[in-house]
Amino acid sequence: MSLQKPTPVAVAVALLLSATALQAQQAQAPEKTLSTVIVNSSADASAQGLSQPYAGGQVARGGRAGILGTRDNMETPFSITSYTNEFIQDRQARSVGEVLLNDPSVRVARGFGNFQESYFIRGFILNSDDVAYNGLYSLLPRQYIATELFERVEVLRGASAFLTGANPGGGGVGGAINLLPKRAPNEPLNRVTVGTGSGGYGQVAADIARRFGPDGATGIRVNAAYRDGGTSVDDEKGTLGLASVGLDWRSRDVRLSGDVGYQENRLKRTRPNVTLAGADVTSVPAPPEGSTNFAQPWTFSNERDLFGTFRGEWDLSPALTAWAAYGHRSSEEANSLANLTVTNSSTGAGNQFRFDNLREDQVNTGEAGLRWKGRTGSVGHEVVAAAGRFSGKIDTSFNFNFANLLFTNLSNPSFFAAPPLAPLPPLANTGTTRLTSYALGDTLALFEDRLLLTLGARHQQVDLTSFGTRTDESRTSPAVGAVWRASRQLSLYANYMEGLTHGETVPFTFIDSTGTARSTANGGAALPPGTAKQGEIGLKYDGGDFGAGVAAFSITKPRFTIDTVSGVGAAGGKDRHQGLEATVFGAPARGVRLLGGATWLDTEQLETGLGSTQGKRVIGVPEFQASLDAEWDVPAARGLTFDARVTYTGSRFADAENTLKVPGWTRLDLGARYLMDVSGRIVTLRGRVDNVTDRNYWSSVGGFPGAGYLVVGAPRTFTLSASVDF
């Protein structure tokens, strides 16, 4: 498989042509001042449009609650945070994971064996495969999603099966992530951003938008970006190119929107994961220097994705609205990998072996529904009926070289020529996923609309095939949610939800009882689906300029085990996560903005059948984690803002028996931006330093069920950028 590298010239030409064509539609640039620019996004294919920003502009007042549509946070029996594009730009976030560094209920990890982003939400793993785009799953690039492709990041905490249906990758038990596409604002937009950072990294991006026709009924927004260069880790390099076009059209009764996007991400010598195994591993080794790279020089990971989506909404009457959506993604991957297994925790000695693979994905997904609003006497109703369908096909080709181990060291690595490997076999189908679901719900407004009671159910069918094994299960799952508006400032809520979640996929390798890496007897097999259950109660406060929330929850999810003698993976036991979350957001004082909170988690492995794991904590999940981000507008220097973020993650375990304890860590990040007027054009300069104290730490543990691999945190990292609106 050949993945062609996009050239800077091609991207630059595309940017120039787009800018020229759109600039011709505008006779002159609008007047710009140093005051904060507030852009009201046009309606997408939804009468509700985007939820309005909250005070401070970092998060929105609400977000999309699945089939219930966009809801105000105070009227939703769920916990939702929607991070705005303004906040994403100001933190110079380059991926979904970098945005979610600010979320106290989320911790970013890595997928198994590669460099895919994964997210622990309430301690449960959600892979980037399971991220939704405008309400539809698995449409965006599978391993890494650049921020230029979306407007907002919405985090819906807790089980979401009734609201969004089953996730194709089996995640979504602890929460869901939905990315909203960019739409043309009501005012013309011309923005070019250039940036650089540690390791000689450089980037250029353009964001151009216009509205046309009577009342600006038609909108187009074009985004393109190119990144190239090194990182703060020695010898790591990456190249990313992307382009996307978002279109929307609206009339009195009909709203349409569509998106087409392309992203190619090429990684070279990216530092891999670290697995601990062997009789000489009695503790977790100290992390190496943050800049140390133990990746072999021949390793790489390339991914190319093409995706598109269409959504329409039609008001059949003032009370009845119909909607439908469809999306498709085609992707290709090629990798040569060599993860590190440390076999001696005192010396850091270990080994690597070569693993090559190819992969192609084809995804088709869609949904349709009806929403009716009305009253029966004093009771208000918002009834929704929806149907969804997901179809995914995976073709792979891979080969391991266990026999040719490369002996190296965590802190003082050795490097080798690429070991010989037999030619990869032709691509063959190794997995299909077919999900079908039907949902019906009603939100009742009682007692002069102070009590909002949501009752619903979703019937789900999960049909999976993986490496010759097939599972086919169906179930109807209930959902109940209630919100009591005690006052304009205070809401109390509760919910109970169940959902059919498809079984885990057995990994291809595992570490046996002697500490040796072995192939799993039924690697790749899809285990039977199970039912996840959640109960939650919470309190929300909205003081106008400052908001807060607290939630207590209990979630259970089926799990799997691997017999370390036979090497067979099977369904068995469950994980229970109980916890308490606290969040804060908004502008508590003039020129000051706060965002963050804390999460306490009590996790247990239950019904495992093994005394060594029964009742023990779940791999990779801390008992306590917290994030707090603060901004301050300097009164004496108009346009100058400083920000600081403190992130804390408690200790975690790297094994199911809880014998390998990974220390917790605290990280300090600092940033500044300056907004100024240069010849009538708004220029924003941004700079930040992440990991200011240059701390060495294990940033994450695990990211795949049952696996406790480690990821080394990045060292002190500098980024600088300049954006010009013209």
Q: Which residues of the chain have pLDDT under 50?
A: 1-43
Q: What integer pLDDT is reported at residue 710 of this predicted model?
A: 97
E strand or H helix at 20: helix 8-23
**CATH number for the domain harbouring residue 693:** 2.40.170.20
Domain count, the chain: 1
Q: What is the DSSP letter of 245?
A: E
Is the Cβ–Cβ distance between 265 and 144 less than 8 Å?
Answer: yes
Is the Cβ–Cβ distance between 232 and 216 less than 8 Å?
Answer: no
Q: How far apart are CA 224 and CA 244, in angstroms?
A: 6
| CA distances from residue 489 to 78, 445, 544, 593 in whole angstroms, order as listed | 17, 18, 8, 19
Q: Is the alpha carbon torsion for 607, 611, 616, 618 positive or negative?
A: negative
Answer yes or no: is 489 within a domain: yes
- Which residues sit opposite 645 in a β-bridge? 629, 669
- Which residues sit opposite 496 in a β-bridge? 480, 535
Q: What integer pLDDT is reported at residue 532 of this predicted model?
A: 87
Any residues with CB less than 8 A from the CB of 615 and at least 6 apart, and which?
604, 605, 606
Q: How far apart are CA 153 and CA 75, in angstroms?
A: 20
Residue 470's domain comprises 8-30+38-725
Answer yes or no: is 668 within a domain: yes
pLDDT digits (tens, 9 = 90+) for 20-66: 343 333 333 333 334 333 334 444 677 778 899 999 999 999 999 99
Burial (CB count within 10 angstroms: exposed 0-12, middle 13-18, buried 19+), residue 9: exposed
The number of beta carbons lying within 10 Å of the beta carbon of residue 28 is 5
Q: How far apart are CA 365 and CA 135, in angstroms?
A: 10
Answer yes or no: is 2 within a domain: no
pLDDT digits (tens, 9 = 90+) for 484-495: 999 999 999 999
Answer yes or no: is 1 within a domain: no
Answer yes or no: is 101 within a domain: yes
Is the Cβ–Cβ distance between 349 and 407 less than 8 Å?
Answer: yes
Answer yes or no: is 555 within a domain: yes
E strand or H helix at 295: none
| CA distances from residue 90 to 84, 94, 590, 594, 722 in whole angstroms, order as listed | 10, 11, 19, 14, 11
Grouping H, G, I as helix, E, B as strand and the rest as coil, residue 270 is coil
Is the Cβ–Cβ distance between 1 and 264 less than 8 Å?
Answer: no
Answer yes or no: is 3 within a domain: no
**Which amino acid, residue 514?**
T
Is the Cβ–Cβ distance between 691 and 715 less than 8 Å?
Answer: yes
pLDDT digits (tens, 9 = 90+) for 268-283: 999 999 999 988 999 9
Answer yes or no: is 197 within a domain: yes
Q: What integer pLDDT is reported at residue 529 of this predicted model?
A: 76
Q: What integer pLDDT is reported at residue 574 of this predicted model?
A: 87
